Structure 1
Amino acid sequence: MELFVLLASFILFLVLGASVASAMIVSAVLSLLVNGLPMTIMAERVLSGINSYTLLAVPFFIFAAVIMNRGGLTDRLLEVARCFVGHFRGGTAQVDVLASIFFAGMSGSATADAASQGRILIPHMKKEGYDASFAAGVNSASATIGAIIPPSITMVIYGSVTNISVGALFLAGIIPGLLVGLALMAMVTFLSARRGYPRQPYMPWKDRWRPIWTAFPALLAPVIILGGIFTGATTPTEAGVIACVYGLLLGFFVYRELKVKDIMPLLAETVEATAVPVYIIGAGSVFGFALTMSGFGFMVQDMMTGLVEGPTAFLLVVIIIFMLVGLFVEGTAAMLIFVPVFMPLVQQFGIDQLQFAIIVIITLLIGTITPPVGLQLFIAADIAKLSVFKVDIWPFVAIMLVVVLAIVFLPGLVTWLPGVIM
């Protein structure tokens, strides 16, 4: 009865247009009432869900992303990317993907990546003759790299939920993130050749040094941030603070695009952006408790044990589940709901936890670029002035799924680097 009330009310509120977090809280409250439990449990679960030192890294990395967007780092990284791939087929779209790889090493936010690069590159692509649907598709897909290559806000949240080392998750994401970037560039090349999209003039090496030198301080940011984490000198939270300080130094004294009057708007934007994931995490903690009380975890585990017979089949079923869930539920919420349920099965099948984590993270990120609720897709579609259903996203979804399947069958893509360094 409790499980029926919980799931039925959750789905009902989603259908009525409530946010995922609000639907989780209200349905959890109804379930607790049916169980006869006191409402003080809800407050306790919300606070315990967000009371984490690891989660302190989230607002710092969001602040760092905001600083870098406003402080001139994004523009200079785009110029460096243009130097190297602008002359490829579909040059401006290639710039979008490569710049996402650069930006990923500093911000850890797919949303910030989609918004900052999209405002610059989508209008450029449209002027150069690219279809608006393609421009929005490549921008939203490339933005996911920001949450795969470290530092990653998504990995910080995953680590806080599962107690897996965030540093190990960061290392595990490097090779898959680069593979996603290369796969997207290959798809851009293929589609651009078929559709006749332009390339930019080849830039001689003697002309590349100036933009590279100008962007050199920005390019050092990933080295400083990740170097501290991987050497053990800093925790991910401390690295987030360093990212903020370094971004402010560049914005004020090197690129001189920040003024003292900009600090309050930057902080306000950070608080607003931080509120969303924190609200979802708190709501997910209450909802997860209600699921546990209703026996949902045991039911799913029994069903999966009877459905699959080995680790590969289990991972393939997990990918299908998260793909379907990602169509309708925000990625962080889906992670909070399902990952704790699946973790006992991960251990039962002997699957490496880092392999499972990266598979889940990339699959959920695919959900952020698929209609009807994909956040990165909404951002890119809004910039391109399109409906989300008209964005040419499915070729990029397909190529990202190829990378996910490669990780299923070649776990060393995830586990090799952490095994060497840690």
Structure 2
Amino acid sequence: MELAALLISFVFLLLLGTSVAAAMILSAFLSLLLNKMPLTVMGELMLSGINSYTLLAVPFFIFAAVIMNRGGLTDRLLDVAAAFVGHFRGGTAQIDVLASVFFAGMSGSATADAASQGRILIPHMIKEGYDPGFAAGVNSSSATIGAIIPPSITMVIYGGVTNISVGALFLGGVVPGLLIGLALMVMVAILATRRGYPRRAYMPWKERWKPIVVALPALLAPVIILGGIFSGVTTPTEAGVVACLYGLILGFFVYGELKLKDIGPLLVETVEATAVPVYIIAASSVFGFALTMSGFGMLVQEWLMGFITGPTSFLLVVVTIFMLVGLAVEGVAAMLIFVPLFMPMVQTFHVDELQFAIIVIITLLLGTISPPVGLQLFIAADIAKISAFKVDIWPFIWIMLLVVIAIVFLPGLVTWLPGVIM
């Protein structure tokens, strides 16, 4: 009865339009009442859920992303991308994808990528004759690379709640992130050729060095941030602080686009952006406890064990479930709710934890660009001034899903680089 009340109330609250975090808290509150447990447990669980040194990296990386957007780093990265892929068919869309690969090495935020590049490139694409739905689809899908190529805020959260090495997660995301970038560029080329989208003027090689030299300090940011982590000089949290300081130095003294008066608005934007994931983490702690008390985890495991025969079929089921969950539940919340339920089965089927983590993260990121709740999708659609349901997103989702399937059958795509470096 308690499990039914928990799940029914959670779904009912979501259908009413309640935020995922509020729905988790209220449904867990009802479950605890039915179990006659002291409600003080809720406060204790929510505080313990966010009381993590690793999770301190989240606000720092968010602040770094905000600084880099406002400090001129994004513009310089776009110039470098334009120099190398602007002359391809669908050049401006190709710039969007390649710049996302560059920006991912600094911010770790898919949302920051979608908002910063989208405001610049989506209007450009529409002006050049691209369909608004295509422009929004390219931008929202390429933004997911920001949470796959390190540093990644999503990976920091995953590592913080599962005790998996954040450094290993970062390394595990490098090859899949680059593969997704390549896959998206291939899809852009196919669609742009079919639809006759324009290309930019060819830039001679001798002229390409200028944007690289100008952007070199920005391009060095990932080297400094990730080099500190993998060399053991800094923890991921300390690397977040380094990213903030480096971004401020570039914004104030190198590119000169930041002023002292900008610090206040930057901090406000950071606090607002940080509040959402932290609120979800706290809420998922109490909701996860309620699920455990109601026996939901055991029921799911018994049901899955009935037809899963090995590690490959297990991972394919994981991809299917997280794809469906991502359509209805915000990515971080879905990760925090369901990953603990699957971890015992990861060990049972001898699945590599890094492989499982990257598969889950990428699959849930597909939910952030899928209707009806995809955040990046709505950001891009709003910039393009169209309905989220009119965004041409599915070709990009399918090509990204192919990369996920490749990781299922080829775990070395995830485990090779961590094995070499760590």
**TM bin (shorter chain):** over 0.9
Distance 1:79 1:32 in 2: 55
Shift of 1:211: 1.0
Q: What SS class does the counterpart of residue 257 from structure 1 fall into? A: coil
Match of 1:231 in 2: 231
Distance 1:99 1:318 in 2: 31
Map residues 23-422 of structure 1 onto 2, 5 A cutoff.
Answer: 23-422=23-422
Provide, for residues 29-59 of structure 1, a one-character-per-residue CA deviation record: whole Å limited to 9, x for no partner: 0000000001100000000000000000000
Shift of 1:206: 1.6
Distance 2:128 2:209 in 1: 25
Match of 1:11 in 2: 11
What are the ranges of 5 or more consecutive residues in structure 2 without an aligned counterpart?
Answer: none
Shift of 1:208: 1.2
Shift of 1:93: 0.2
Distance 1:208 1:419 in 2: 35
Shift of 1:328: 0.6
Provide, for residues 293-318 of structure 1, a one-character-per-residue CA deviation record: whole Å limited to 9, x for no partner: 00001110111111211111111111
Distance 2:398 2:51 in 1: 38
Distance 1:29 1:216 in 2: 52
- Matched AA of 2:398: A
Shift of 1:362: 0.2
Provide, for residues 174-210 of structure 1, a one-character-per-residue CA deviation record: whole Å limited to 9, x for no partner: 0000000000000000000000001101100121111
Distance 2:212 2:162 in 1: 40
- Matched AA of 2:174: I
Runs of 4+ displaced beyond 6 Å: none
Shift of 1:417: 0.4
Distance 1:47 1:341 in 2: 21
Distance 1:297 1:212 in 2: 52
Provide, for residues 135-157 of structure 1, a one-character-per-residue CA deviation record: whole Å limited to 9, x for no partner: 00000000000000000000000
User: Given the two structures, how large is their TM-score scaled by the length of structure 1?
Assistant: 1.00
User: Given the two structures, how large is their TM-score scaled by the length of structure 2?
Assistant: 1.00
- Matched AA of 1:369: I
- Matched AA of 1:357: A
Provide, for residues 243-289 of structure 1, a one-character-per-residue CA deviation record: whole Å limited to 9, x for no partner: 00000000000000000000010000000000000000000001000
Q: What SS class does the counterpart of residue 107 from structure 2 fall into? A: coil
Distance 1:325 1:388 in 2: 19
Distance 1:418 1:70 in 2: 33
Distance 2:233 2:88 in 1: 39
Distance 1:7 1:307 in 2: 24
Shift of 1:161: 1.3
- Matched AA of 2:374: G
Q: What SS class does the counterpart of residue 306 from structure 2 fall into? A: helix
- Matched AA of 2:228: G
- Matched AA of 2:243: A
Distance 2:209 2:412 in 1: 36
Provide, for residues 54-91 of structure 1, a one-character-per-residue CA deviation record: whole Å limited to 9, x for no partner: 00000000000000000000000000000000011100
- Matched AA of 1:287: F
Q: What SS class does the counterpart of residue 307 from structure 1 fall into? A: coil
- Matched AA of 2:397: V
Which segment is superposed worse, 138-147 or 309-318? 309-318
Shift of 1:228: 0.5
| Count of aligned pairs between the two proteins | 422
Distance 1:103 1:150 in 2: 10
- Matched AA of 1:202: Y
C-alpha root-mean-square deviation of aligned residues, in Å? 0.4
Provide, for residues 302-360 of structure 1, a one-character-per-residue CA deviation record: whole Å limited to 9, x for no partner: 11111211111111111110000000100000001100000000000000000000000
Distance 1:45 1:334 in 2: 18
Shift of 1:232: 1.0
- Matched AA of 1:3: L
